[in-house]
Structure 1
Amino acid sequence: MGFFADSLNRIQPSATIAVSMKARQLKAQGRDIISLSAGEPDFDTPENIKLAAIKALKEGRTKYTDVDGIPELKAAIVAKFKRDNGLDYTAAQVSVGTGGKQVLYNALLATLNPGDEVIIPAPCWVSYADIVQLGGGKPVFVPTRIEDGFRLKAEALDAAITPQTKWLILNSPSNPTGAAYSHADLKALTDVLMRPKNQHVWVLTDDMYEHLLYDGLKFATPAQVEPGIYDRTLTMNGLSKAYCMTGWRLGYAAGPVKLIDAMRKLQSQSTSNPTSITQWAGVEALNGPQDFIARNNAVFVQRRDLVVGMLNQAKGLMCPKPEGAFYVYPSCAGAIGKTTPKGFAIKTDEDFVTALLEDEGVAVVHGAAFEGSPAFRISYATSTEALTEACTRIQRFCGNLR
């Protein structure tokens, strides 16, 4: 009998964190490494949010709080959903966790039984499937196509639903592709969920990149598009990306009271409350000025256009232009089967990113980690200088393949 839990064998360490670690190790050895692997804005947390945290510290707001969020933060979240999404929730329908990841974890662990299926459009964020498997559920990947802008099609969703389907996870704008769903795109999907045979399927929306939308596209979320699924939707969001608060760890969601109660029960026996100081910073983030978001987005658009343009000039790469988030997801199909000048054969996208890191010192994440090969993900949430240099190196690397 082994010492460790069998459930650990069902999951992998996060591939994005693994790539970032390898890049840091090479940097520590003196290598000139440009890391484009972490999904983290390079902008600092806005000053008003920092000051709110300092104020909370000075006022002694350092004690335990309610397990899943202080009333002031829940009120700010209720106001945010009404203001931004036209969704009516009460404080009793809100759950606050230590980052969006804990909110997803709580929701899935509190609802999955062995054999339950969770539909995940692929390419997808690395942690969804692993959390589903930890909970004893079965991830069902539904491939999306580069030609469809990596958006899940209604027919594909309908075909994937079985009597065992418990959840559909929808992430828009998406990590890793940056694909965003319009109101009409979502309506086609919610129409499928409204069919009598599909009314047992719940929706878990990951709206973490809500405010990072470009080219005039307007954000929509499933429960807003189709009020008929409100009672079986968990609308999840957080402060990490738009508010440049990745390290603060604050995520939240709203949904049916019975689900929120179950999530609270789980959280009461794991982490208990998110950091009290972070919660007060979160109140300021949601209630305070929002104008910095548009300023940051203008920079992201410039970076996106730079990266897409340069990658499409690289031999064997094809890079679509995403509508949101801060990732591009180029296909490297044209490089598979080639060999580097050092004689290393590129058979997979993992080979491609390994050789790129070794030969040119550019760290990106391979597509297989996101269930979408042959491709790789680049985060363009870094300086224009670093992006220009990295893309120049990628062009050189691709040009040297034989």
Structure 2
Amino acid sequence: MKKFLDRYFPIEFRLLFKWIIFFMLVFFAFPLLSYLSWQGKPSAGLEVVILDKTVPNKEQGEFQSIQWVLNHLKYTKTNGSKYLGEKGYFGYYLRGDQGEHEINDFSNMSLSVKDRLVQDLDLLYISDTYGVYENDFTENVGEDRSKKIYGGMNADDLYMIKSAYEAEKVVITEFNSIASPTSKQVRTEFENLMEVKWTGWIGRYFDELNIVLNEEIPDWMITTYKNQHDGIWDFNGSGIIFLHENGRIEVMRDNEHLRDPVPSVVTNILNQKKYGLSEVVKYPYWFDILLISREYEVISHYDVHPTPKGIELLNEMGLPRYFPAVIKRRKGNGSFYYFAGDYSDNRITDNSYKFQGLGRMWRMFLHADDFSQRRSFFWNYYYPLMKEITKETYSNKTKH
């Protein structure tokens, strides 16, 4: 073939031909090999129960992240089925564009059904309990907070968490599980059970605090801040907005309060190796701040990079210099994890889970400090963390 090309075709054509062959390998051969490699992997049975109460549209359910991970790693339910869509989670199911819905959660179950579900499951994942609100179906954020349609952790959810934890299963809960709209009674029971304490504060990075340039900041948040701070909102540039459950709002702005406006999730060397995590991953989304007992292992912590003035403001808010991002507490053969961030909120709904080696490939292109890409946090933190947690869960299951 080479002699034929050298004899009858000019060098320009031969170079073009080589590039064509190269791109065919990249765009056809490699994906095919990746797909065949995934197909050749054996499946493993892992019974995961997922609760997601926040599904404002069919493309925005937080159950999709954990489902993608489970399917990519070829974990199946006990009956051999995959974790797909509504068949793979409990919670809120959208039936129309104006809030028409169905609800299938733990509240619809008898006590015996819940107990049997706990007995059969290996991992209970509470991905989101914030809920669905009227403004989710309108384009206008509005001046006032929106009316709740459905949401909040309730006594039935707490019963499942408590039962699974006491049965030494793996339990994972995420950001906002015990914040609004969860009742204080349920929150207190959860805190006493798990020996954690929510400070009442949540926060989030915003790339632009100027409300003329950024319409993402809700009107009610701006109005509330002005009422508390002499009617002034004079921010420009990036920063972090902190909200307390009592209504207090504080803003930490870049350069004045922050050396780096984007919070970092920091992992020590031992957990980097154990979970396959980067030392520092930028995290520009919602987080909550917990106080924990000494029995917890802190897998990762947050650093908001405060200046001396920023540390003063944190002290005024009753917050520490560093606070937990992911914590773990063992109980026999089981474990309890709390993700103090909106970690499963990722747009990853396609069938790409059927290709082997995607984690390594995406981490080559999406670096841990690239917070401009939503999927960067998924590939650099959420996926490797969940990969190790599910691997450990399956290993413990097969040992007993």
- Structure with the higher fraction of residues in helix conformation: 1
More strand by share: 2
In the superposition, the TM-score normalised over structure 2's length comes to 0.24
Larger radius of gyration: 2
Determine which structure has greater relative contact order: mean sequence separation of CA pairs < 8 Å that are 6+ residues apart, divided by chain length: 1
Name the TM-score, length of structure 1 as normaliser.
0.24
